């Protein structure tokens, strides 16, 4: 016989009574207690809504970029500048809550001591494969109505009215940014439009996050110009989402007006030190050779093919690349 499903009320109660350490570093906005657990859970709820988390098991062996970015967006919203955190803290400490269980690596044991040692994702990965939430909780989180009830419980129990309002606004931005990124993906398969003026209807925070999400994932975190791809264990990626023709002028978030570029290539491209030819080869400007302070390896990229998305339709549009070359006389 199947066990009856745990009531939603039980999880609402558990979400409302998370064990959170008090501390003087924490402000009134988090009710003077550590905010890590509820903030991680808010990020998990977003990934449930996006359909990114598709089973009760959340692996830490995969890249954690999206989870980490959402965690940081909530975190920065209410935690004073300069105070940072690793997602590994709440990811491991949630083990002490009834609905969340760390799954050890073969041959490892989860003990209070091993949890207390975890301060980075690298350390977490030496102990755990991931975490498993209650199957019933997972089902509730798949449904918008019960997911919202659980989000409400977190916001009400862990944050001040002001903190709650800020986090609610962030949750809305995250949801809109996700829709915007899907919209951009669809539009990129349609003929080019010079200006996507409707994009002006979105808040800058929604546009930035949506454009970044779709460009960075389309390029699989690889710099189109130099090919570097680095994702740290904490889920930080080396690439930015760059516009070919800047947003300020183009108002254009078309994926084909974008590229994933590492910090250095992004800067060099924006400064006109690098460009891309009509047949997608890297062009370097004379400034690079002439300037002894610019890293010489950039010159070795000259005439090499760029590394574009797997889907050829999403490569940079020649039209924008030509405009960039004209602007910088490349
Ligand atoms: Zn690069």
Query: pLDDT per residue over 254-306, tens digit each?
Result: 999 999 999 999 999 999 999 999 999 999 998 888 888 878 889 999 999 99
How high is the pLDDT of residue 295? 80
Ligand 1 mean position, distance from CA 252 (Å): 22
Tokens of 29: 């906005």
Burial of 279 (0-12, 13-18, 19+ CB in 10 A): exposed
**Ligand 1 centroid to 32 CA: how many Å?**
42
- Local structure of 258: helix, strand or coil: strand
Contacts of 293 (CB under 8 A, 6+ apart): none
171-181 confidence digits (pLDDT tens): 999 999 999 99
Which residue numbers in the chain have pLDDT < 70? 1-2, 194-199
Q: How far is the CA of 323 from the centre of ligand 1 (A)?
A: 21
Both structure tokens of 272: 């006109």
188: exposed, middle or buried (Cβ count in 10 Å: 0-12, 13-18, 19+) = buried
DSSP state for residue 28 in the 8-state scheme: G
Task: Give the Å distance between the CA of 229 and the centre of ligand 1.
Answer: 9
- Rounded distance from Cα 215 to ligand 1 centre (Å): 15
Rg (Cα) of the chain, in Å, rounded?
A: 23
Whole-number Å distance, alpha carbon 236 to ligand 1 midpoint, is 15
Q: Where are the beta strands (DSSP E) in the chain?
A: 57-59, 100-104, 128-133, 239-243, 258-262, 274-276, 282-284
pLDDT of residue 294: 79
- Separation between Cα atoms, residue 261 and residue 282, nearest integer Å: 13
Per-chain residues with Cβ under 5 A from ion ligand 1: 223, 225-226, 262, 265
Q: Classify burial at 5, counting beta carbons within 10 Å of its beta carbon; exposed 0-12, middle 13-18, buried 19 or more.
A: exposed
pLDDT attached to residue 297: 87
138 Cα–ligand 1 center, Å: 39
pLDDT value for 6: 87
pLDDT of residue 287: 86
If you ran DSSP here, which 8-state letter would residue 261 be given? E
CA 65 – ligand 1 centroid, Å: 19
């Amino acid at each position: 016989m199947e066990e009856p499903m745990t009531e939603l009320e039980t999880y609402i109660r558990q979400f409302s009574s998370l064990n959170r350490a008090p501390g003087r570093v924490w402000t009134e906005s988090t009710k003077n207690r550590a905010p890590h657990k509820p903030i991680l859970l808010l990020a998990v709820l977003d990934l449930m809504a996006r359909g990114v988390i598709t089973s009760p098991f959340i692996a830490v062996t995969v890249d954690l970029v999206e989870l980490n970015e959402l965690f940081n967006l909530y975190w920065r919203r209410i935690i004073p500048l300069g105070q940072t955190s690793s997602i590994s803290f709440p990811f491991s400490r949630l083990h002490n809550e009834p609905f969340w269980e760390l799954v050890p690596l073969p041959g490892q044991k989860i003990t209070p001591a091993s949890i207390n040692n975890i301060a980075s994702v690298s350390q977490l990965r030496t102990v755990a494969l991931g975490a498993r939430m209650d199957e019933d909780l997972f089902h509730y989180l798949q449904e918008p109505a019960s997911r919202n009830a659980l989000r409400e419980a977190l916001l009400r129990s862990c944050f001040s009215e002001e903190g709650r309002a800020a986090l609610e606004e962030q949750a809305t931005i995250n949801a809109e940014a996700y829709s915007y990124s899907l919209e951009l993906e669809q539009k990129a398969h349609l003929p080019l439009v010079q200006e996507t003026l409707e994009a002006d209807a979105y808040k800058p925070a929604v546009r930035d996050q949506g454009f970044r999400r779709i460009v960075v994932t389309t390029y699989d975190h690889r710099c189109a110009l130099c090919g570097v791809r680095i994702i740290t264990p904490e889920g930080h990626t080396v690439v930015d989402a760059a516009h070919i023709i800047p947003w300020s002028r183009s108002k254009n978030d078309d994926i084909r007006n974008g590229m994933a570029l590492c910090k250095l290539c992004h800067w060099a491209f924006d400064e006109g030190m690098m460009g891309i030819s009509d047949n997608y080869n890297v062009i370097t400007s004379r400034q690079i050779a002439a300037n002894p302070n610019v890293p010489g390896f950039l010159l070795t990229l000259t005439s090499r093919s760029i590394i574009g998305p797997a889907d050829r339709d999403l490569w940079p549009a020649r039209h924008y690349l030509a405009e960039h070359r004209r602007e910088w006389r490349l």
